[in-house]
Every structure is written in C-alpha cells, then in structure tokens.
Amino acid sequence: MRRHFHPAMLAMAAVLTAFVPAPSSSVHAQAVPGQQAGRPMMLPVNPDPLVVETQGGSASFSIEVADTNARRAAGLMFRTEMEDDRGMLFVFEQTRPVGFWMQNTPMALDLVFIGEDGVIRDILPGEPFSTDTISPGVPVRFVLEVKAGIAEANGISGGDIVRHPIIDAVAARD
C-alpha cells in the first residue's frame, strides 16, 4: 500500500534520501499557532517580492513563506481563493526529493519545483482534493505554489531563474 503526503508532510517524516513509497510511520499535520482546525493558515506576506526571470521578462509575486514543519504541513489547505500575484514558498532545510498532495486543498494549483540554485526543475499541476503524489522526481530545495494557470500565463517554465532573498542566500547570489 502506498501512502500519500500533503505538501511538506514529507518534511516531518524520517530523513528522506530518495523518493520512496511512504515511510513506515504515519505522518500527521501539526497545528500552527493561531490556526483553527479546518481553516486556512494565513501567514504574513513576506516584505520582499519573489521574482521569476522568464524568457519574456519577469513575473513578480507576493509570497507567504512556509519554512517550518507545521507551516509546510498546513500549506494552502482549505484556501478557496488567492490573488493571481500571490503564492506560498515552501522552504526546506536541505535539497531532497519531495512529494505533495492536495487532499484538503479546494483550489487548483501550479507547483513550481525549484533547485537550491534557484533554477526551476519542473512545474506540475495540483488537482483539488487529490491524494495523488505530486513530485518532480528530482531533489529540490524550494516549492512555489500559485493558482493553476498562473505559471503558463506568466511564461514561467523549467530552467527559469527564481529570485528572492531566501533563495538567493542558499544559491549564494547577490
């Protein structure tokens, strides 16, 4: 039997060295301070825009940052709407294989998988309420979630560069 995990529930599992079917222990979402069960987590908007450098120009997003196990586990669950220029950046402590799912997420999403160098590795769709695993099949350090269709509408594709102070610090860029 294969278990599926919500956006960063894999971060709460045992250390992963490869994307494998579920670890032997089950993983449960942790509560985020101030979040009520069944309600969306609303994080503060980071003061710095996230910018994707595309072949046709650049796309800028205001982001919330999910940088703890609890925040990554809650992610965009229960959100029913989000502005086109908004997103959530999932930050992992190390580059590794990750898998996301959309079980409690009613909003269709684009999942943008980003390496530690800030280069987009893959963009995959997230189907509302699905428990299918969404994974690029390669290790990543960051994942940006935006509304479905936003990546294509902004000309964002694999190989594009993503800039934000959090990503730039890992990529050792100015």
- Residue 16, pLDDT score: 30
Share of the chain above pLDDT 90, in %: 76
What is the domain range of residue 87? 9-15+43-171
Pick out the chain residues at pLDDT < 70: 1-36, 174
What are the pLDDT digits (tens) for 85-100?
Answer: 999 999 999 999 999 9
In a domain, 75, yes or no: yes
In a domain, 108, yes or no: yes
- Residue 35, pLDDT score: 52
CATH code assigned at 50:
2.60.120.1140
In a domain, 61, yes or no: yes
Cβ–Cβ < 8 Å for 42, 65: no
In a domain, 4, yes or no: no
- Residue 17, pLDDT score: 27
pTM above 0.85, yes or no: no
The structural domain count of the chain equals 1
In a domain, 58, yes or no: yes
Distances (CA, A) of 9 to 25, 63, 90, 173: 12, 20, 11, 29
- Residue 21, pLDDT score: 31
- Residue 6, pLDDT score: 40
Task: Give the residue among 160, 154, 162, 149 at the shortest CA–CA distance from 82.
Answer: 149
In a domain, 77, yes or no: yes
